[in-house]
Every structure is written in structure tokens, then in C-alpha cells.
Structure 1
């Protein structure tokens, strides 16, 4: 009985609060955008300028929170082992429309510096697959983000 109670208390401590869960979700989305930014191993001025703006729009957050997420995602992304750790939390919490908005933001980041590198393209395609979006959705979102 005491062992079961200790186990129950341990599980309660391991369960993040709703605020922590919401932050982890936002951080996962920010990390996915950072993956695109650093796909070509450098952040251009255009990418740095558009990133907080895209986070604000995609996640409906303020500019201060967006700036904090960029800083945290930059640090966290360097320690990430796979895209799955980000996409799994997003799959559990985002609607299809929210996933599409995130992938659209990824394409917009990729095109921000005026050129799409193959690594940016590969990361966005991999993320789209991990988010269970259709290929036709991926192409439609890319076309939407392309500079005209």
C-alpha cells in the first residue's frame, strides 16, 4: 500500500502543469522553425527578422514571449536528437489547421532569405510527414509561401 502511494506521488510530480505543457508545445513549434533556420547552418538577417513575427502569428503569442521562445529554441535545438521529439507533442495537441499553419511558417522561413536550400526543403518535408500532412497539403503550403 505504501509503495503504491509513493508511486502515485512520484507520477504526480512527473506530470507537468498545464502551463508547462503549453510552454513545451510552443517550444516544440519554435524548435521546428529553428531547424529550418539552421538547415543551411546560418541565420540570415531576413530569417532573424521574420522568425519572431511568424511565431507570434502561428502561436498567437506576444512579441516578448516570441523572443524568449527564439532564445530557448536556439539553445534547445542544438541538443535535440530528432525531429520526432518536437512533432510528437505537436501531433498530440495541434489540429490539422494548426499543423498546416506551422508548416506554412516553416516554408516562409525557408524562403525569407530569397533562396530555398535543399536541406531546408528536406527538413520541412520530413516534418510534414511526421505531422501526418498530405503531400498535396505540403505543396499547397509551399506555393502559398513562395515569393511571387
Structure 2
């Protein structure tokens, strides 16, 4: 477990190439969304349909890149050791507004299947905490994402 985390972090440090760094950042964000998707141990059709468009909007990427990230994040997420490996990369590179957009996307994916399970809620709250977002921001973002 620790070895995998060290490997992931060393991969990030060993690649000063800006294009590779940008790719790792996008993958970290996609992995965070996948954590929410699989929190209830299943991906609903609504979540599967919404995930690529949320990635496109959140990361400003095209549909092909979004689908590639979904595939990679699904594989990487199965081997993830902790949320910290994703949030630390995002903290180093995202603005507060970008972090808020990511957490909003996490709430939107959590509500996509019509119900919020406690594990989805816990993961989003833990991520928001690791991203140094205020509790009031977390609640405001949740309220924006709630179906009306």
C-alpha cells in the first residue's frame, strides 16, 4: 500500500514534462470523481452518462479525453491507497475556484442516481477537507447540486 503511494508520487516527481504533469492532474481529478461513483459499489446508468460531461466541464477537455480519463481513473482508482494521493496533486495546482468546481462535480455525480448514500457524502466531505475548503463552501456546493 505504501509502496504504491511512493511509486505514484515518484512518478509525479520524476516527470517534469508540463504535458505529463497536466495529464496527471486531470487523472487525479477524474479519480476523485470515480471515488464518489464507486462509493456505493456500483455505477448507475445516470452516473455513467453524467461523468464524462462533468469531466469535460470541470477540466475543460473534449469528450474523447474525458472518456479516456474515465477508463484510466477506473483502473487507477482500484489501486488507490488514499484520497491524499489525489488531493495533494490538486492542492498544488488548482485554484480555490477550480477546487470548488471539482467538489460541485462530485456532489452532482453523487446525486445523479437520485439518492445520496452516506459513503458518497463521507468521501466528498473528506475530499473537501483535504482540499482545504470551508464547511460553508461544501454546504453551498451541495445545495447547488441537489436536485430540485
Same fold (TM over 0.5): yes
Q: 1:96-111 residue pairs with structure 2 within 5 A? A: 96-111=96-111
Q: Is the Cα–Cα contact under 8 Å of residues 15 and 21 in structure 2 kept in the other structure?
A: no
Deviations 1:9-45 (A, max 9, x none): xxxx923310000000000000000000000000000
Deviations 1:46-76 (A, max 9, x none): 0000000000000000000000000000000
- Once residues 145 and 132 of structure 2 are traced to their aligned partners in structure 1, the CA distance between those partners, rounded to angstroms, is 20
Q: Under a length normalisation based on structure 2, what TM-score does the superposition of the two structures give?
A: 0.91
Larger Rg: 1
Q: 1:6-85 residue pairs with structure 2 within 5 A? A: 14-85=14-85
- Flag structure 2 segments of 5+ consecutive residues without an equivalent: 1-12
- Once residues 96 and 19 of structure 1 are traced to their aligned partners in structure 2, the CA distance between those partners, rounded to angstroms, is 22
Instruction: Give the root-mean-square deviation of aligned CA atoms.
Output: 0.9
Partner-residue secondary structure (3-state), 1:58: helix
Q: Is the Cα–Cα contact under 8 Å of residues 28 and 90 in structure 2 kept in the other structure?
A: yes
Matched residue, 1:10: none
Q: Under a length normalisation based on structure 1, what TM-score does the superposition of the two structures give?
A: 0.91
